[in-house]
Amino acid sequence: MFVIGSVRSVERDPSILLKTVLSLRKKPNVPIYLPGIAKPSNLATIVFSGIDLVDDTACIIHALDGIYFTRDEELPLSDVSPDIMCGCEACIALSRGCENRTRLLYLHNLFVLKKEMEIIRYKLVRGKLREYVEGKTAFSDWNNVFLSTHDEFYDEIEPFVHVFSKTKIFAGTDRTIKRVEIRRFVERLKTRYEPKGEIALFLPCSAKKPYSLSRTHRIFRSITEDFEVSEFILTSPLGVVPRELEMVYPASHYEIPISGVWSECELQWLSQCVADITRRGDFKHVVVHAEGGFAEGCKRAEEILGDEFIYTSKGNATSKESLSELRNVLESIANPKKKAN
């Protein structure tokens, strides 16, 4: 077993925890023990970092200082009213004014720490620990700094991250763009995928995955299947997904809230991905059949490239008018697809 001794340094600077675990993980299958600092507020991040063992030292030290643990914070007991106490046996005794308050406070802190560990085990089994840690960043700078540093260490962390999972990635924040599973897809698209064809057609993503099974994409394909076009799906957080890769993980394993509102970060990311794949192709024409943030991302890509794209959607990508415009444009610039006899 490895024991991390520099506990004070880790408490001060969470990036030290990350660097230490990464260096220890070069020797596989040896448990790593981080003594002294586990609290409910940081436990998910500690487990996410790759630590295998923690202890109750922080429960004792904080009880001696009169500090009460919640799942997200550490509060002076004097600030904790009985109605927000957790309801464990120690809390019931505390609210009745029983003696030996330090001991009761320790028992409560330990109860909440163990409860948090149960929740983390459940998140691990469901493949949702990353999302849970992202949520914890809202309450603690330590968690926040750790996750930001973690996402900067892509090359070191990538070998440890699964290449497939049945669990869908929930793309709820701008941080999702930096997840290893997302970056790996984008990096491989840049280095291994060669765009082909003369006509690029950018289409909006659908909530249903793979996109081809959605109602809107079945409508789009009733037109595009007649022409020689290279289809690219615009989406956040993956940027651009070539039609032929829509089954590749995680292109069919993510979900994103459909609000129609794009953050500045998402728009920049989308425009860079569109510009990159367009630049690497040898397209005579680029057609965009999309609205809202999808179209805005493409307009920004035009500015990056200094090219002009053709826009075919007239307010609603599945309206008769828009679909008719798409067909007319493709008839004028694309070769008809050769049908098999």
Q: Which residues bind Zn ion (CB under 5 A)?
A: 86, 88, 91, 108
Q: Which is nearer to Zn ion, 63 or 274 (CB)?
A: 63
151 with 177: CB under 8 angstroms?
no
Question: Taking the complex as a whole, how short is the minimal distance between the CB of residue 183 and Zn ion, in angstroms?
Answer: 41
Question: Taking the complex as a whole, how short is the minimal distance between the CB of residue 105 and Zn ion, in angstroms?
Answer: 9
Question: Taking the complex as a whole, how short is the minimal distance between the CB of residue 46 and Zn ion, in angstroms?
Answer: 21
Number of Cβ within 10 Å of residue 320's Cβ equals 9
Q: Which is nearer to Zn ion, 38 or 110 (CB)?
A: 110
Question: Taking the complex as a whole, how short is the minimal distance between the CB of residue 112 and Zn ion, in angstroms?
Answer: 6
HSE, CB side, 13 Å, CA atoms: give it for residue 132.
24
Q: Which is nearer to Zn ion, 61 or 157 (CB)?
A: 61
301's enclosing H/E stretch is: helix 292-305
Q: Which is nearer to Zn ion, 89 or 282 (CB)?
A: 89
Find the length of the chain: 341
Which residue is listed with tokens 């309801």?
87
- CA 237 to mean position of chain CA atoms: 8
State the Cα torsion 224-229-232-234 to the nearest 10°.
-60
Q: Which is nearer to Zn ion, 94 or 274 (CB)?
A: 94
Q: Is the dihedral of CA 226, 293, 193, 180 positive or negative?
A: negative
Question: Taking the complex as a whole, how short is the minimal distance between the CB of residue 53 and Zn ion, in angstroms?
Answer: 24
Record the tokens describing residue 254, joined without a space. Answer: 């993510």
Number of Cβ within 10 Å of residue 104's Cβ equals 21
Question: Taking the complex as a whole, how short is the minimal distance between the CB of residue 68 and Zn ion, in angstroms?
Answer: 8
Q: Which is nearer to Zn ion, 88 or 267 (CB)?
A: 88
